[in-house]
Amino acid sequence: MEGVAVLLISLLRTVVPLVAGWIIVALTHLGFSLDSNTAQAAVTLAVAGVYYVVFRLVERTVEKFGGPAWVKGAAGALLGWAQPPRYKPTDDVAELVRQSRS
């Protein structure tokens, strides 16, 4: 069950920034007049990437240098889950495959 939970957390932390990027672009248009779907998609992905990096950096900074736990939790929640997924360190590829299936 733990593998499924980690997968769900990873999925949420990937999808939420993409959706947030799309919402930000849709609501603000970022000063662009985007007639092309390709251009809008590129801007949305760029905004989503920046969104992810900003909140991930906030998480890491609070974790590394200390700070209010609620800031780290809020940054994580804005990424889709209050804490990053934890993976067991291993160099054994077969063990990684077994972990992913459990």
pLDDT in tens, 71-85: 989 988 888 888 776
Per-residue model confidence (pLDDT) at position 12: 81
Q: In angstroms, how far is the first alpha carbon of the chain from the final one? A: 6
Tens of pLDDT along 21-40? 778 877 776 666 656 777 77
pLDDT above 70 covers a percentage of the chain that reads 76
Please say whether the beta carbons of 100 and 10 come within 8 A.
no
Per-residue model confidence (pLDDT) at position 70: 92
Per-residue model confidence (pLDDT) at position 35: 63
Rounded Cα–Cα distance for residues 77 and 98 (Å): 29
CA dihedral of residues 25, 56, 15, 39 (deg, nearest 10)? 30
Residue 68 has pLDDT above 70, yes or no: yes
